[in-house]
Amino acid sequence: MATNLGGLLERTVPPMGYELVDWETSPGGRLVRVFIDKAGGVDVEDCAKLSQHLTRLFAVEGIDYERLEVSSPGLDRPLRKAADYERFRGQEAKLVLREKLNASRKLTGVLAGLDGADALLETDAGTVRVPLEGIERARLVPKIEWRKGR
């Protein structure tokens, strides 16, 4: 189901005006989660619209599941595609590497875009080049600004 589902989502979600950020299924495939985004952000109506469409599509395609969840990727959005490293340039990110770099598999810094197949990350120690294929996981670090005195 996973390969079929991934291809189906990749063919269906973008033409509806959304970016397919990620998707996952529970171990038994009973739960399907789809994470979407669009310029200006995703709201409840977007999630409901796509959920209704996917529910009908899954019935036609014979996708067996019990529950479907459609949501935004959240403030700590995962970085999955090379383009994400350019798109979110200037924002803080946390990377987990497949192998140690300078005695650590974890890096945190400000995204400085791409150079070829390498992500550039501004850290306290300077600019670090990380091959995209060497990144196991990457997420934005949420910035929450609290207002004082209300």
Give the mean pLDDT per block of 10 residues along the chain (150 residues): 80 96 89 94 96 96 94 92 93 95 91 95 92 96 77
Q: What is the pLDDT of residue 145?
A: 78
Domain ranges in the chain are 2-71, 82-140
> How high is the pLDDT of residue 149?
61
CATH class of 82-140: mainly beta
- Given a contact cutoff of 8 angstroms between Cβ atoms, the answer to whether 36 and 46 are in contact is yes
Q: How many CB atoms lie within 10 A of CB 83?
A: 11
Burial 21-32 (b: 16+ CB within 10 A, else e): bebebeeeeeeb
CATH of domain 2-71: 3.30.300
**DSSP assigned state of 81:** S
Residue 146: its pLDDT value, please?
A: 77
